[in-house]
Amino acid sequence: MTHANAIARILLLGAAFLLSSCIDSREEYWLQTDGSGRAELTYHLPAGAAAVHGGESGIRQMVTDFLAQTPELTAATCEVATEENRLRVHISTAFESAMDIKDIAAGDSLKALPAAASALIGEIAADLRGRTLDFRRSIAASEALPGAAFLPASQLKGHRMTYIMHLPAAPIESNATRTEDAGRTLVWDIPLAQAVNDPITTRFRMNVPIPWGIVSAIATPVLLAACALVLRFRKSRNHLPGGTR
């Protein structure tokens, strides 16, 4: 199971909105022991930058088309609204299984997104050995926002890129800027000025908890079958010559 792959297609959608140097992004994910999860993504960008893609209605249509072509995302909703001179885009979605989303480069939905999407989704790697999951994501924001590093600091000040992971258990280790909820929530809160100068890397290592609900669902019929075999064996012995009746 790779939780990283499970959220990769969702990240593509978010990356489509990071089209200007003066943006703010917040990506928040809740991951379950069975590989399912949900996400809440919120982006603020200048209305002028959104105008390149048709403004409020154009962005909304782009999101709608993407969600329609991505059946792995369920219960998906999108809100697009203009607040003063900023466009606010909020996406809420869920995924039933991390195993359903492995090849993020496949499908026409990816081709419909702006070229900056691939740069801002970055490189995602996950390695599951036994029950230990190693997750790593690297994002080179400067490749998607060329020239942003040369903008005045005052233009970048106050803008942030924030990534939050709610895990089913505290990881063994991570490079999160802070943790919450007894270590189960990892937060990477990166100033935009830092993001455009140095690649962002989010990583953690954790033991994947055993999904006891699934174990129980599997174990119960197995246990019943074993009991039936034992009773059948005892019954057959009782009917053998010399057996106890």
pLDDT tens, position by position, 134-152: 888 888 877 766 666 667 7
Task: Please state which of the ranges 99-108, 186-195, 211-220 shows the lowest mean pLDDT.
Answer: 211-220
Predicted local confidence at residue 118, as pLDDT: 64
Section 161-170 average pLDDT: 94
Contacts by 188-192 with C-beta closer than 8 Å and gap 24+?
A: 188/162, 188/163, 188/164, 189/160, 189/162, 190/160, 190/161, 190/162, 190/163, 191/156, 191/159, 191/160, 192/21, 192/22, 192/23, 192/24, 192/141, 192/148, 192/156, 192/159, 192/160, 192/161
Please report which confidence band the pLDDT of residue 102 belongs to, taking 50, 70 and 90 as the band edges. very low
Tell me the mean pLDDT in the region 31-45: 85
Return the pLDDT at 117: 61
Q: What is the pTM of this model?
A: 0.75
- pLDDT of 175 reads 97
